[in-house]
Copies of this chain bind each other. A is one copy, B any other.
Amino acid sequence: MSSLDTLIQDLVIANRILAKEDVVDAYGHVSVRHPDNPKHFFISRSLAPELIERDDIVELDLAGEPVREERRSLYLERFIHAGVYELRPDVMAVVHAHAEDILPFGIAKATELRPVIHSGSFIGSSVPVWDIADKFGDTNVLVTNMAQARDLGKCLSQNNVALMRGHGFASAGRSLIEVVRMSVYLPRNARALMRARQLGGEIKYLSQGEIDARNRGYSAYSPETWRAWEYWATKAGCGHMLSKPDEKHEHGKK
């Protein structure tokens, strides 16, 4: 397979992992930027992530429009992805989802979502909450155009995750593997914090130094990172689709 084929295969895997790990259900989506053309990205047509196959992947531009004629329906909220890729050249992959246990942090004002467990460190030290109503008033709460997407992107700013009030979250990573991992541990970190608050007393968050140290040590294809990707893919029934980076390289040579 060419490296582009492998990337699209990885995008299929990412969709299935997010479904299996309860980050997405019928709704929610993940995209990856075109490695050779930063103004394009790949995402599925409108379909539940668990059901996605290679042929469902489409190529969109930074206006959220398909670059080839496309008669199939597209995700209404594909603009979220376009908006983040436009504003953040460093971002290579984006997830938008409604994972249940992050929702309360976008609804209740008293508790800020911050990392309390080591696997939650990648959400970053600050997770802003974006409220579509602040700028756009009464909407259907969905991000359905570039103006809304850019406003969300502005709120996300240089952070890795933004909560969307009454709706879900958008997360941005340097690779598919990173953004999937971040999105899987985001609700787990949220649950740990919720329950710690119920136990009462002072909460011990990860320190900025700890978050920085973890970030410095992160590598998309380290044995530790790969271990989770391999495991989650296997659980999601697509272990046979996995291709390790070195294998990708060899395949790319053919």
Contacts and interface: CB of A to CB of B under 8 A. Distances in A.
Interface in A174-210: 188, 191-210
Contact of A111 (B50, B51, B111, B199): B199
Interface string A219-254: 000011001101110110000000000000000000
A107 B204 contact: yes
Given A25-B231, A228-B27, A199 B194 contact: yes
A103 interface: yes
Contact of A199 (B76, B104, B210, B217): B104
Contacts of A105: 199
Q: How many copies does the complex hold?
A: 4
A206 B165 CA distance: 9
A213 B51 contact: no
A73 interface: yes
B141 A51 contact: no
Contacts of A223: 46, 73
Interface class of chain A by DSSP:
helix
A26 interface: yes
Give the size range of A's interface with the partner. Answer: 35 or more
Interface string A43-83: 00011101100000000000000000000010010000000
Nearest to A232: B26
Contacts of A1: none
21 contacts: A26-B228, A26-B231, A27-B224, A46-B224, A50-B231, A100-B191, A104-B192, A104-B199, A106-B204, A107-B116, A107-B117, A107-B203, A109-B202, A110-B200, A116-B166, A138-B208, A138-B212, A140-B213, A140-B217, A141-B206, A141-B213
Interface of A: 25-27, 46-48, 50-51, 73, 76, 98, 100-101, 103-111, 116-119, 121, 131, 133, 137-142, 165-167, 188, 191-210, 212-214, 216-217, 223-224, 227-228, 230-232, 234-235
